[in-house]
Chains A and B, each alone.
Chain A
Amino acid sequence: MEQQLTQLENGLKKIKNKESMIYFLTQDTNGTASASVANTYQYVKYLREAGYKAEILYEKKDYKGVGEWLGSEYTELPHCTIEDGELKVGPADVVVVPELYGHVLEQITNMPCTKIMFSQAYDYILETLNPGFGWSNYGVTKCITTSDAQKEEIKKLFPTVESTVITPSIPSYFKPSEKPKKPMIAVHTRDQRDTMKIIKSFYLQNPQFKWITFRDMRGLSREEFAKNLGEACASIWVDRISSFGTFPLESMMCNTPCIGTLPIMKPEWLTEENGIWVFDESKVVEVIAGFLKNWLEDSVPVNLYEKMKKTTEMISEDKESKEVVKFFDTLFGEKSVEFDSAINKLTPVSENS
């Protein structure tokens, strides 16, 4: 009992001194840019700036990292791997697990730490869970997600899990180019086949526009990605299962109107006026041609640009940072109370009095 008490006291000390570890389990994208992974790194950065010991946790030793596309600022954040077997977590520590890693929950069920789910893509929530099993079966009681719509979905699936919405921010290097926009269209689709299909159909249906350049945004570093988006006169977004819709927001930050297919789960920020949204995917090419005609004649409605600007006003790195830190401050506050209470229970009455 004394050993347990000592452990609890040490744990409480760790929490109070901000020495608890916060591990963010992260997917290896093999060098491909991913908004959700970028967001995870952003969280680690915010928390470290706030004095927390946050680290990136990855599965395999050959983890490629984010240096090629996210930049050295993020590569330099502390990383550790599960594979070398040296990872030790205690009750004062936290492991944040992306929804895609549902299967990992089974492996870490017995770890004596707090498990938080990080759900940025609702479509993957059930991907690796066994039928009949939910997050709560693995001791998860809290979740961070990126939109109210996702929060609702999570509530339907896991009613006992408490979700907190933190709106992701977009880095400030997503901005309009200083020079006027170029007749270039940035394309971002979940399935690369869709990109090629759009480009080929467009040129076949609109031979008068065969001089317009389409830029497949795959394989670019984050900053190159932002630069291209800033130069483009329009962007195309096809991602039916998108949860938050980072790309159209990045596009808006660059003052580049987005032509997109409506995702199944409509994000809160998406309105009829802040983009050109298409329900029928087969109409995308027609809509691009119509937009281009207007752009070449300088007659794209001013209202569209105004609404885009207004939408992006809700996005702020400062706000996101504060929300992330607040979430963990609250979490560790609650953990302190739990530890205090457990210590009190284990402390002999005479000492208590």
Chain B
Amino acid sequence: MNSKDITIILPVHDVSDDFNNWFPKSLKSLEQSQAKPGKLLIVCAENNSIKEYMSSLENTTGIDTEIVYNDGDTTYCGQINLGVSKCKTEYISVLEYDDEYSNIWFKQFDLYVPHYKDVDIFLPLVVDTDQVGQFLGFTNEALWAMGFSEEIGFLDNNTLLKYQNFQVSGMIMRKDKFEEIGGLKASMKLTFNYEFLLRATYNDTTIMTIPKIGYKHVNQRDKSLFWNYKFKDDLKIGQDEAKFWVETAKKEYFFTKDRQVEFEG
């Protein structure tokens, strides 16, 4: 097993606004990667502007790349689930178009996987930045704090019930485990990450953070999904609703299937 057994899934919902500022950086991070993953799968929403953009895409990543179009559920979760279903490799990884892998991430995977053969999900140490690249903090790092989780470095269900701030973008996960636990649930809105990890740990998925910088995430970029939840008038989520989604995640993780849930505030 090595990084050649990984397919990166990169969902693209639309190419308007500042997509072109971020996407090339994202691809550049793959170009600079010290160990190359086996495949890059760009999962695009089926529309003309995206098709036009992709047709002129110059791929310098050095990675076998495939573009697939999705005419079904084009939410972030839907795109990822479709991407995973099309993967033929043992592992999958998720890259957001406005984020970047560190150049050492896949090399670290190659280094860690022989020693941690039972691990199903390797989380990266995520560097969170603001839009201008200013360091804000780390995510997924807390697992290495003494006494934080049941086993240092590993994520468990009890810890997740008390602490929610984990990031799945950049993770490297066994494809069969992703499918076994039911993939991402779009109906979980802002807690889809959290619910997914709760469900994973509930289903005996072994999760660890590789304590090396693996992924750079731009926090609440203008017009991103979470920015919309926080600021956009028609999508804005208040405190009560946020609390509702956290509580819902804690109830829904027992179910493999995505059951439609609505907030009635």
Instruction: Decide yes or no: A211 and B213 within 8 Å by CB, A297-B102, A297-B104, A298-B104 being known contacts.
Output: no
**Does residue A196 face the partner (Cβ distance < 8 Å to B)?**
no
Q: What is the size category of the interface that chain B forms with chain A?
A: 20 to 34
How far is B91's CA from A61's CA once the two chains are assembled, in angstroms?
A: 64
How far is B146's CA from A298's CA once the two chains are assembled, in angstroms?
A: 22
> Which residues of B lie under 8 Å from residue A211 when comparing CB positions?
138, 141-142, 144-145, 148
> Which residues of B lie under 8 Å from residue A182 when comparing CB positions?
144, 152-153, 211
**Does residue A31 face the partner (Cβ distance < 8 Å to B)?**
no
**Does residue A213 face the partner (Cβ distance < 8 Å to B)?**
yes
- In the complex, the answer to whether B212 meets A296 with C-beta atoms within 8 Å is yes
**Does residue B112 face the partner (Cβ distance < 8 Å to A)?**
yes
Instruction: Decide yes or no: A180 and B138 within 8 Å by CB, A296-B125, A296-B211, A298-B104 being known contacts.
Output: no
**CB-nearest residue of chain B to A211:** B145
- In the complex, the answer to whether A180 meets B111 with C-beta atoms within 8 Å is yes
CB distance from A21 to the nearest CB of B (A): 49
- In the complex, the answer to whether A183 meets B144 with C-beta atoms within 8 Å is yes
How far is B144's CA from A298's CA once the two chains are assembled, in angstroms?
A: 17
**Does residue B137 face the partner (Cβ distance < 8 Å to A)?**
yes
1/0 contact trace for A154-175 toward B, CB 8 Å? Answer: 0000000000000000000000
- In the complex, the answer to whether A212 meets B144 with C-beta atoms within 8 Å is yes
CB distance from B236 to the nearest CB of A (A): 30
Contact of A180 among B104, B115, B137, B146 (CB under 8 A): B115
> Which residues of B lie under 8 Å from residue A179 when comparing CB positions?
115-116
**Does residue A107 face the partner (Cβ distance < 8 Å to B)?**
no
CB distance from B165 to the nearest CB of A (A): 12
**Does residue A210 face the partner (Cβ distance < 8 Å to B)?**
yes
Instruction: Decide yes or no: A213 and B146 within 8 Å by CB, A297-B102, A298-B108 being known contacts.
Output: yes
**Does residue B107 face the partner (Cβ distance < 8 Å to A)?**
yes
> Which residues of B lie under 8 Å from residue A208 when comparing CB positions?
135, 137-138
**Does residue A178 face the partner (Cβ distance < 8 Å to B)?**
yes
| Extra A-B contacts (15), CB below 8 Å, given A213-B145, A213-B152, A298-B213 | A178-B115, A179-B115, A180-B111, A180-B112, A182-B153, A183-B144, A183-B211, A208-B135, A211-B138, A211-B142, A296-B211, A297-B104, A297-B212, A298-B104, A298-B107
Sampled A-B contacts (29; CB under 8 Å): A178-B115, A179-B115, A180-B111, A180-B115, A182-B152, A182-B153, A182-B211, A208-B135, A208-B137, A208-B138, A210-B145, A211-B138, A211-B141, A211-B142, A211-B144, A211-B145, A212-B144, A213-B145, A213-B146, A296-B211, A296-B212, A296-B213, A297-B102, A297-B104, A297-B212, A298-B104, A298-B107, A298-B108, A298-B212
Chain A positions within 8 Å of B, measured between CB atoms, are: 178-180, 182-183, 208, 210-213, 296-298
Chain B positions within 8 Å of A, measured between CB atoms, are: 102, 104, 107-108, 111-112, 115-116, 125, 135, 137-138, 141-142, 144-146, 148, 152-153, 211-213
The 8 residue pairs across chains A and B that have the minimum distance between CB atoms: A211-B145, A183-B211, A298-B104, A179-B115, A213-B146, A211-B141, A296-B213, A183-B144
